[in-house]
Amino acid sequence: MKYYEGLREELETEFIRQDKDGIIRKLSEVINSLLEEKPKTADSLSIASEIMYFTIYHIDHGKSMLEKIFQMYTKGYQCLFEFQSSMQIATWLVMLRDGLYTQLEEREQDAKQIVVTTVQNYIKKHVRERISLSETAEVFHLSPSYLSTLFARYSEYGFNDYVNRTKIDVSKDLLVERQLKIYEIAEYLGFKNAFYFNRVFKKMEGISPSEYALREMMESA
């Protein structure tokens, strides 16, 4: 089991860090070693049992993940202890690796979506302010490029377009319900000036603020 001893500490470190890519990479190395070295069944079982332990005790909700991965077996993930060959145990490890990848990937995506939703709520709350990518990223302790990438992937709009979309949606209510003037809305929503507000509105809606207000007034008459 010398080949495993060299990997053991690195593997456990990846589990402790809950590093998806690191876990998958090290598990693949263990599996390849088992297939190449063909150790005794007892040795293979010892290795797999320890990896099971890493999963349960180092990964958040690790036991639930194991149960989901091996739900097709009557004894669940403990079917491991019924296997009679190193090949069967290696197959168990392959299922574990692939299942962990899927579930950790889903968790990672969910976490990123939560970040985007949280930032979107921040934008809505601060809609009257001039909101920049760099300043918002600093608030959430993220790099501007990373935050921009998150919005590109997990939001209908990129960061700047989302800010403008949010402001324009508010402006439409101000135009129709409160009948504010263009320059008043521009100032209220933190646009540089009325000209810039007018340009952004037309880009988003296809018509100018004045045309929008007139259309809404005629439709409600």
Which pLDDT value is given to residue 130? 93
Determine the Cα–Cα distance for residues 136 and 157; give it in Å rounded to an integer.
Answer: 16
Determine the Cα–Cα distance for residues 46 and 4; give it in Å rounded to an integer.
Answer: 11
Determine the Cα–Cα distance for residues 13 and 197; give it in Å rounded to an integer.
Answer: 52
Nearest to 35 by CA among 97, 93, 90, 96: 90
User: Which backbone phi and psi does 142 adopt, to 5 degrees?
Assistant: -120, 160
| Statement: residue 159 has pLDDT above 70 | yes
pLDDT tens, position by position, 189-212: 999 999 999 999 999 999 999 999
Determine the Cα–Cα distance for residues 53 and 109; give it in Å rounded to an integer.
Answer: 25
Determine the Cα–Cα distance for residues 181 and 39; give it in Å rounded to an integer.
Answer: 80
Q: 179 exposed, middle or buried (CB, 10 Å; 0-12, 13-18, 19+)?
A: exposed
pLDDT tens, position by position, 41-84: 998 999 999 999 999 999 989 999 999 999 999 899 999 999 99
% pLDDT > 90, the chain: 72
Question: 58: how many CB neighbours lie within 10 A of its CB?
Answer: 16
- Which CATH superfamily groups domain 126-221? Homeodomain-like (1.10.10.60)
Determine the Cα–Cα distance for residues 138 and 143; give it in Å rounded to an integer.
Answer: 7
The model's confidence at residue 38, banded by pLDDT at 50, 70 and 90, is confident
**CA-CA distances (angstroms) from residue 161 to 123, 131, 135, 194?**
12, 11, 16, 18
Domain boundaries, the chain: 2-108, 126-221
